[in-house]
Amino acid sequence: MTRPSEDDLIARYFAPLAISAGADGLNDDAAVVPPGEGDLVVTKDMVVAGVHFFPDDPPSSIVKKALRVNLSDLAAKGAKPAGFLLGLGLPPDWTEAFLEESARGLAQDIEVFDCPLLGGDTVKMPGPLTLSVTAFGYAPRIVRRRGARPGDIIAVTGTIGDGALGLAVRAAEREPAKAPAWVAGLDDRHRALLALRYMFPMPRVRAASAVAAFASASMDVSDGLAGDLAKLLKASGVGATAAIDDVPLSESARGALALDPSLIRTVLTGGDDYELLVTCPPDRFAAFASAVNAEGLDLTAIGRITAGEGLVISDRSGQAVDLGAGRFQHF
């Protein structure tokens, strides 16, 4: 089978996606980031087969996840997307069918998130499929992790735990014999919704303006709510209290917990949520929540920032819960 050369591959699958004038049709070795208002924000994340997605996941879900996890980081800084660079490391068994579906998926997200492809690089690798995205955005005010102050309200967008539970569902789809009992106990609709939350995370780009206007500190929840909150606290030099019962859960996650209450640890520490974790002075929180709600999203208070150090997460009886490291560990 004859495969296209690198130049042909770029011209056929990716140049049609590079619609920004700054990309110059991918005919050069560099691009100009489109102009925007505010500070330029840059983020970079990689996804690797067997680590961040299953090798047999649909190509559109793989490329969309690679882009969306970066857009989530931009949103957490209060930035709206301006464009991205794509690094694509193809394994020896790559196919044009993979590239065709990947290009279609990217085209959809480029339109949905108004985030043009500016350029990148494509290489053949001896190892697993690897995608690296560098995303650019503009923020009227960059919101760091380090801005939380005692008395601030801690809040999250959306629901927590769906991504981690969805990972278990997706794994069970691939190896039904190893499926935990709670997966089999869920109805088909809830299993499908959880798997979709894992495979197609939804970055909260629409909340970026509200974050820039109201948040004192912000980051996205990628490695687990408890662990990511601990990182925010460390950066800000503060402590916090939070209540498990206040953490917003989807109907699907509640169904899973009803079947196996021990899954609460997975919900709080598993990651892959890509929701926003924010803090805000109490006198501004109502306006913050209203601004987020106006974008069709929920913002739920789950705790308070305290003086000192450490995070205390309490159960329904008021007892502190030990969650260990509280997050996914890359190494």
pLDDT digits 0-9 by tens, 42-85: 989 999 998 899 999 999 999 999 999 999 999 999 999 999 99
The answer to whether residue 330 scores a pLDDT higher than 50 is no
Annotated binding-site residue numbers for Mg(2+): 29, 43, 45, 73, 121, 220, 223
Mean pLDDT in residue range 307-312 = 92
Rounded-to-5 percentages of helix, strand, coil across the chain: 45, 25, 35
Residues of the chain with CATH 3.30.1330.10: 6-139
CATH architecture of 6-139: 2-Layer Sandwich (3.30)
Alpha carbon of 123 to those of 10, 107, 119, 225: distances in Å? 11, 21, 14, 35
Annotated binding-site residue numbers for substrate: 52, 272, 328
CATH of domain 145-314: 3.90.650.10
**Radius of gyration (C-alpha) of the chain in whole angstroms:** 20
Annotated binding-site residue numbers for ATP: 120-121, 145, 222
What is d(CA 244, CA 117) in angstroms, rounded to the nearest whole number? 40
The answer to whether residue 36 scores a pLDDT higher than 50 is yes
Q: Tell me the average pLDDT of the chain.
A: 91
* Measured CA angle at 63 (ends 58, 65), to 5 deg: 95
CB proximity list for 50: less than 8 A, separation 6 or greater: 128
Annotated binding-site residue numbers: 29, 43, 45, 52, 73, 120-121, 145, 220, 222-223, 272, 328
Residues of the chain with CATH 3.90.650.10: 145-314
